[in-house]
Amino acid sequence: MANQDFEIHVSFKHRIRFTRGAFSSGNELLSELLETRGHSKVLVFVENGLKSHFPELEGQIQDYLSEVPGLRLTGVEWLNGAEEAKRDDAVYLQAMSAIERHHIDRHSYIMVIGGGAFLDVIGYAAATGHRGIRLVRFPTTTLSQDDSGVGVKNGINAFGKKNFIGAFAVPYAVVNDFQFLHTQPELTRRAGLIEAVKVALVKDREFFEWMEAEVENLRALDEKTLEEAVQRSAIHHARHIALGGDPFELGSSRPLDYGHWAAHKLEQLTDFALSHGEAVAVGVALDSLYSSKVGLLPVEDAERVLRVIEGLGLPLWHEALEFRDMKQKRRVFNGLEEFREHLGGELTVLLLDELGHGKDVHEIEEEIWESCAEELKVRALATTTV
């Protein structure tokens, strides 16, 4: 018998860049970033939602790329973005058809400019077209710049389940271009900051305390403060993916999913009326309060977390927490079982044992958790009626 095990090591470079006006003439970041192998084609996908905010963008892309030796722009394709684009395979197939039509090959680049949902769809097309085409992501929302855009996941929804079809693929580069950061509606811009709060809570107490001190500026979306928060958060997320030991999520421990088990369920229960960022705000509030109720986190630290969430103008509670199933069980609590299924093994939820540090637990006590939901409800209703 010639049975044998082979180790296959493949290493990736995860390039994270920050700039303003990547396609402005004189900005050398992109021309230095892209390796050209003789002649590389570039196909750019931009989400339709950006057209009204950046009417000059297509012209700038054309002018910029025409000046870079060794690169040839084959086209700029405008497609629909937002969660709708992930609901089925329509946008994915439009992207695939464009990849075929423009004769994009494995020496080419795909660039994608858009929010987290658009990056997920086009990223999936790039990961599967010719079994993988080099992808340069340009996230355009707070949430995608400070979190999802610097990740390695791509996908679309199917069978009513989020991200059911997808692929892990390390992008060639992620360019966080701050020119895109200031045009989203205010609430969604602020809501995206919850991912920075989240990563600070599990990784970096000093970063949390900085956000606590800057909460007024962050709430006011002061450009400089927002950009600093985005940069620090993006680097934390990328560092965890690159150095955390589990880039393709084979294990059950997911520190970057702190507060997310309830959040994912709340998004689903509200049919996505509640945005991801707002849902995560509620989830982080709940899991932080719960961490203190089970004696892991000092009570005053949980209070500090709640105050930062309130300070950012984000919710601590949502009425969907009250939805109950036939057995009168809170439906959000069924999210725990779905989270376990999603992990594919033992339930593992990260709680906080101090600000800036998490601890995995394998059980959530329903009664204690209910008392947290009740406490947050009272607090949220008191502040909204004042």
Ligand X SMILES: NC(=O)c1ccc[n+]([C@@H]2O[C@H](COP(=O)([O-])OP(=O)(O)OC[C@H]3O[C@@H](n4cnc5c(N)ncnc54)[C@H](O)[C@@H]3O)[C@@H](O)[C@H]2O)c1
The residues of the shown chain that bind ligand X, judged by CB under 6 A, are 47, 49-50, 53, 81-83, 86, 114-118, 120, 140-141, 143-144, 147-148, 151, 153, 162, 180, 183-184, 276
Q: Closer CB to ligand X, residue 123 or residue 358? A: 123
Report the candidate in 142, 163, 144 with the shortest Cα–Cα distance to residue 154.
Answer: 163
Q: How far is CA 347 from the centre of its chain?
A: 22
Q: Vertex 225, ends 142 and 179: CA angle to 5°?
A: 50
Q: In the complex with ligand X, which residue's Cβ is closer, 82 or 235?
A: 82
CB of 139 to ligand X, least distance (A): 7
Strands 109-114 and 134-139: parallel
Angle between helices 205-213 and 299-311 (to 10 degrees): 50
**Residue 25: Cβ-neighbour burial (10 angstroms; 0-12, 13-18, 19+):** exposed
The secondary structure of residue 56, as a DSSP letter, is: T
* Of residues 117 and 286, the one with the C-beta less far from ligand X: 117
CA distance 273 to 83: 11
The answer to whether 297 and 351 are in contact (CB under 8 A) is: yes
Nearest to 338 by CA among 329, 330, 347: 347
Q: Least Å distance between CB 326 and ligand X? A: 29
- Please report how close the Cβ of residue 142 comes to ligand X at its closest, in angstroms: 8
Min. distance of Cβ 180 from ligand X in angstroms?
4
Q: Which is nearer to ligand X, 2 or 243 (CB)?
A: 243
- Which SS3 state, helix, strand or coil, does residue 216 take? helix
With respect to ligand X, which residue has the nearer C-beta, 154 or 292?
154
Kindly state the smallest distance separating residue 5's Cβ from ligand X, in Å: 31
Return phi, psi of residue 173, to 5°: -160, 155
Q: How far is CA 321 from CA 16, 41, 71, 283, in A?
A: 37, 49, 52, 10
Min separation Cβ 276 and ligand X, Å: 5
Q: Tell me how far, at minimum, the Cβ of 281 lies from ligand X, in Å.
A: 13
- How near is the Cβ of 253 to ligand X at its closest, in Å? 16
Q: What is the residue-wise DSSP string for 188-213?
A: HHHHTTHHHHHHHHHH-HHHHHHHHH
Whichever of 40 and 176 has its CB closer to ligand X, that residue is: 176
Closest separation in Å from C-beta 47 to ligand X: 5
| Bridge pairing between strands 357-361 and 349-354 | antiparallel
| Closer residue to ligand X in complex, CB, 287/301 | 287
Give dist(CA 369, CA 377) in Å, integer. Answer: 13
**Residue with Cβ nearer ligand X (83 or 360):** 83
Of the two residues 73 and 194, which places its CB atom closer to ligand X in the complex? 194
Of the pair 47, 287, the CB lying nearest ligand X is at 47
CA–CA distance, 205 with 29 (Å, rounded to integer) = 32
**Minimal distance, residue 179 CB to ligand X, in Å:** 9
Q: How far is CA 157 from the centre of its chain?
A: 15
Task: Kindly tell me the burial class for residue 345, based on how many C-beta atoms sit within 10 Å of its own C-beta (0-12, 13-18, 19 or more).
Answer: exposed
